[in-house]
Amino acid sequence: MFKNSALHLNFNKKIKVKDIRNKLIEIIEIKHSTNKSYKDLIKKSAFCSEQDEIVNDSYVLKKDKIISIIPPIGGG
């Protein structure tokens, strides 16, 4: 199991899913710069609102909201 199962990001304003995606890519570039797969994973992942709805990059989050990341999965 992962040591930390949640990542907390603090922003000073309303943000869009696109901002979260970009921040995650920035973190990956710092902590895992040699692993291109991690960046690709974030780029291809879907995001889900607290209402269990898939949301697009223009979806706006307000203060203290939670969003989930759904990684791409293989299947047929």
**What are the residue boundaries of the structural domains of the chain, listed by start?**
15-70
**Cα of 61 vs its chain's centroid, Å:** 12
- Predicted confidence at residue 49, as pLDDT, reads 92
Residue 16 pLDDT > 70: yes
Per-residue pLDDT tens for 33-66? 888 898 999 999 999 999 999 999 999 988 778 8
Residues ≥6 apart with Cβ < 8 Å to 44: 71, 72
Read off the pTM: 0.78
Neighbour-count burial of 45, counting CB atoms closer than 10 A to its CB (0-12 exposed, 13-18 middle, 19+ buried): middle
Residue 31 pLDDT > 80: yes
- Predicted confidence at residue 4, as pLDDT, reads 59
* Token code pair at residue 14: 């309303």
CA distance 34 to 57: 26
CA distance 34 to 31: 9
